[in-house]
Copies of this chain bind each other. A is one copy, B any other.
Amino acid sequence: MNFLITGAAGFIGSNLVDRLLEADHHVVGYDNFSTGQETFLERAKISPRFKLIRGDTLDLPALTAAMQGIDFVFHLAANADVRFGTRRPYKDMEQNTIATFNVLEAMRASGVRRIGFSSSGSIYGEPQVFPTPENAPFPIQTSLYGASKLAGEGLIEAFCEGFGFQGYIFRFVSILGERYTHGHVFDFYKNLLRHPAQLNVLGDGHQRKSYLYVQDCIDAILTIITKAQEKVNIFNLGANEYCQVNDSITWICEALGCKPELIYSGGSRGWIGDSPFIFLDTQKLLTLGWRPRLTIKESVLKTLTYLQENPWLLEARS
Residues of A within 8 A of B (CB): 85-86, 89-90, 93, 97-98, 101, 104-105, 108, 125, 134-144, 146-148, 150-151, 153-155, 157-159, 161-163, 232, 234, 272-273
Write out the residue numbers on chain B whose beta carbons fall within 8 Å of the beta carbon of A146: 154, 158
Q: When chains A and B are docked, how far (Å) is the Cα of A157 from the Cα of B123?
A: 11
Write out the residue numbers on chain B whose beta carbons fall within 8 Å of the beta carbon of A143: 158, 161-162
Q: When chains A and B are docked, how far (Å) is the Cα of A98 from the Cα of B140?
A: 19
Min CB distance A161 to B, Å, is: 4
Write out the residue numbers on chain B whose beta carbons fall within 8 Å of the beta carbon of A155: 93, 141, 144, 147, 151
Instruction: Tell me whether A158 and B138 are in contact in the complex, defined as CB-CB below 8 angstroms, given that A93-B101, A98-B93, A163-B86 are known contacts.
Output: no
Write out the residue numbers on chain B whose beta carbons fall within 8 Å of the beta carbon of A147: 151, 154-155, 157-158
Write out the residue numbers on chain B whose beta carbons fall within 8 Å of the beta carbon of A139: 138
Task: List the number of copies, as a whole number.
Answer: 2
Write out the residue numbers on chain B whose beta carbons fall within 8 Å of the beta carbon of A135: 137-138
Could you tell me if B105 and A162 are in contact, using CB atoms closer than 8 angstroms?
no
Write out the residue numbers on chain B whose beta carbons fall within 8 Å of the beta carbon of A148: 154
> Which 4 A-B pairs rank lowest in CB-CB distance, beginning with the nearest?
A147-B154, A151-B151, A141-B157, A147-B158
Q: When chains A and B are docked, how far (Å) is the Cα of A150 from the Cα of B93?
A: 14
Chain A interface, >50% SS class: helix
Could you tell me if B161 and A272 are in contact, using CB atoms closer than 8 angstroms?
yes
Could you tell me if B158 and A97 are in contact, using CB atoms closer than 8 angstroms?
no
Q: When chains A and B are docked, how far (Å) is the Cα of A298 from the Cα of B150?
A: 38
Instruction: Tell me whether A154 and B157 are in contact in the complex, defined as CB-CB below 8 angstroms, given that A86-B163, A137-B138 are known contacts.
Output: no
Min CB distance A213 to B, Å, is: 26
Min CB distance A262 to B, Å, is: 27
Q: When chains A and B are docked, how far (Å) is the Cα of A161 from the Cα of B141?
A: 8
Could you tell me if B158 and A85 are in contact, using CB atoms closer than 8 angstroms?
yes
24 residue pairs from A and B, CB less than 8 Å apart: A85-B162, A86-B162, A86-B163, A89-B159, A93-B155, A125-B157, A135-B138, A137-B138, A141-B153, A141-B154, A141-B155, A141-B161, A142-B157, A142-B158, A143-B161, A144-B155, A146-B154, A147-B157, A150-B150, A150-B151, A150-B154, A151-B151, A161-B272, A161-B273
Q: When chains A and B are docked, how far (Å) is the Cα of A85 from the Cα of B134?
A: 26
Min CB distance A89 to B, Å, is: 7
Q: Name 9 extra pairs, CB < 8 A, besides A141-B154, A141-B158, A151-B154.
A: A89-B101, A97-B97, A125-B157, A138-B138, A138-B139, A140-B234, A144-B155, A147-B155, A147-B157
